[in-house]
Structure 1
């Protein structure tokens, strides 16, 4: 049946068609979440050349950050509570309200909260969630704004989130509040306060070359920052936080970059002769026998890092390269456990997800699961042990920090 052009439909027929399309859209949306759930549980995004489901949604499905985030959150809530499938299909809930309810849903209250949140707006569901899990109220106070230039005196300044909240409090709620419902009998005991999710740092572009960083620090980190500002008081006399952070970041890059091979150590060279001998030195260091099979010479690590551009070199079946920069490790193409040498040609950069995928494809998932269980049973996490047996990834010939 061919679809008629919207302009050819009468208003009543157009309204009916819109309701039909809205229902079809919801059904497709739920089917998408179910497929995304199975895709995530199989970790098929790793085989497709992506380090995470988030990366796959952005780069392969071409979803934007907000759309990808809402779908991933709703998918994980739907995984925990399959009963939410029907409300999503008939419109009682949407992606945003499902994600909000996921903070407080339990097996005991899912039916009650589903009934109270049905067909409610996001603001109403937020109020319902807050009535179950209290939030910390923002501190009341005033802050001085920068003086505006005379030319911009007549322009209205945009309100921040906290300022909009204060305006709403001063003039009353902008939207009707959701009635928590009648109570019968004594009031229930106060539910335990659940741990609030950690707020992610935000980087907001304020101009072509400058960004604003907003991050939450704990007390220890704040004290360390103040100590660093004091230590740099001669170099940064005005205590500018951006300059202090830049110095800290540069020092960290120099320290960890040398260990990872991303930064070459400063040496006194003898001109072009020294540069020409670097490649030969790398090959000599790679083939030289060492006491520990998992040891990879620093000059080899630097050569691999430079060749792969500091990004995961894993390429999926469709030719898509991962290019992730997160948790990079050196991966032996032919594992060291099978005789693979620590040479530039036999090494590549891989994110942890693709390093593990290579190990599973070589040694089997059950074999790797056994190593992970043995590592997790120990009293000291392997990644933090000062003296410990070779880690599973090292036994497979994969270098990890």
Structure 2
């Protein structure tokens, strides 16, 4: 064990004195951390370093947990708007949980009063404070006839008879979840609209001969296969190998529009990931909000019909590149 972690030889008095000093140092470091995080956020330094968001930077570079990252980003942005929060945290008068709970309610007129009320309060006490400021409306009485059970019920439905059940409360939508239960099986859970249900039922009817049991897994898989067959660049390229792709959708070198065939080739080449690379070699690799970027800008003579001049960038790095004159 590292000697600095061996506290066994300290007296009780030395132990508690040292612990108080460390707690004070931790609060000071926490406030300073939030201030630095705010500045990194404002300057979007994370983009230059190869990250598509401050969240990813905190996870991958600072090695924070997801929950810790979300809370710190929220508190840092709130503290930027109301700087008194820094000193309250440093002095131990309020904790991150308290600021996080109050954050949606704070404004220029009430922040001093609310922060003062939250000082030296536990998380539960701050929750009660917030509930008093933004009370939830009582759920209205609601009575409805439950639907007849079908061969396969949708998540959230109940099998029942035709009797009415008084006082049924419609639950709030649950957050979407994707939870593995075995190496080969995953539970999907989300809240959908009535229109989505109609579409699923329609698809189930159309596919009844192919999938007589009407399982949602089969119906959704068919829908995704159909979508990917039309929209997946890799599949389009595979199909075009059997035809001549050069006579359709071609744009001239003077056109800003990037031909679909070029987009498909770039997507496959870049593996559907942002290609921005920082000076120290960190590639972003973001797979969402991707955009096709002209390496040599079109207005400066860059062509659109050559894969060598087109690359994938996430929206963060495409905007960052434009703001900083291109890289």
> TM over 0.5, yes or no?
yes
Quickly say closer, same or farther: Cα 1:65–1:300, change in 2 above 3 A: same
Q: In structure 1, what is the equivalent of residue 267 of structure 2?
A: 305
Q: In structure 1, what is the equivalent of residue 10 of structure 2?
A: 9
Contact 2:52 2:284 survives alignment (8 Å) = yes
Q: 1:232 pairs with 198, 207, 217, which one?
A: 207
TM-score calculated relative to the size of structure 2: 0.78
CA distance in 2, matches of 1:27, 1:241: 53
CA distance in 2, matches of 1:361, 1:347: 19
Contact 1:313 1:348 survives alignment (8 Å) = yes
Q: In structure 1, what is the equivalent of residue 162 of structure 2?
A: none
Q: 2:181 pairs with 184, 189, 206, which one?
A: 206
Contact 2:256 2:303 survives alignment (8 Å) = no
CA distance in 2, matches of 1:110, 1:238: 57
Give the 5 Å matches for 1:294-333: 294-333=256-295
SS in 1 for 2:313: strand
Q: In structure 2, what is the equivalent of residue 362 of structure 1?
A: 325
Q: In structure 2, what is the equivalent of residue 254 of structure 1?
A: 229
Q: In structure 2, what is the equivalent of residue 47 of structure 1?
A: 48
The answer as to 2:129 corresponding to 1:128 is: yes
Q: Deviations over 1:320-362 (max 9, x none)?
A: 0000011111111111111112211111111111112222233
RMSD: 3.2
SS in 2 for 1:7: coil
CA distance in 1, matches of 2:299, 2:117: 58
Quickly say closer, same or farther: Cα 1:128–1:319, change in 2 above 3 A: same
Shift of 1:126: 1.7
Give the 5 Å matches for 1:85-100: 85-100=86-101
Q: In structure 1, what is the equivalent of residue 163 of structure 2?
A: none
CA distance in 2, matches of 1:131, 1:91: 24
CA distance in 2, matches of 1:48, 1:305: 23
Q: In structure 2, what is the equivalent of residue 353 of structure 1?
A: 316
Q: How many residues align?
A: 294
SS in 2 for 1:345: helix
Contact 2:237 2:265 survives alignment (8 Å) = no
Gaps of 5+ in 1: 141-196, 365-401
Shift of 1:285: 8.6
CA distance in 1, matches of 2:202, 2:133: 41
Give the 5 Å matches for 1:112-261: 112-135=113-136, 200-257=175-232, 261=233
Q: In structure 2, what is the equivalent of residue 151 of structure 1?
A: none
Q: Deviations over 1:182-222 (max 9, x none)?
A: xxxxxxxxxxxxxxx99752222222232222323344444
Q: Deviations over 1:73-107 (max 9, x none)?
A: 11122122222222211222222221111122233
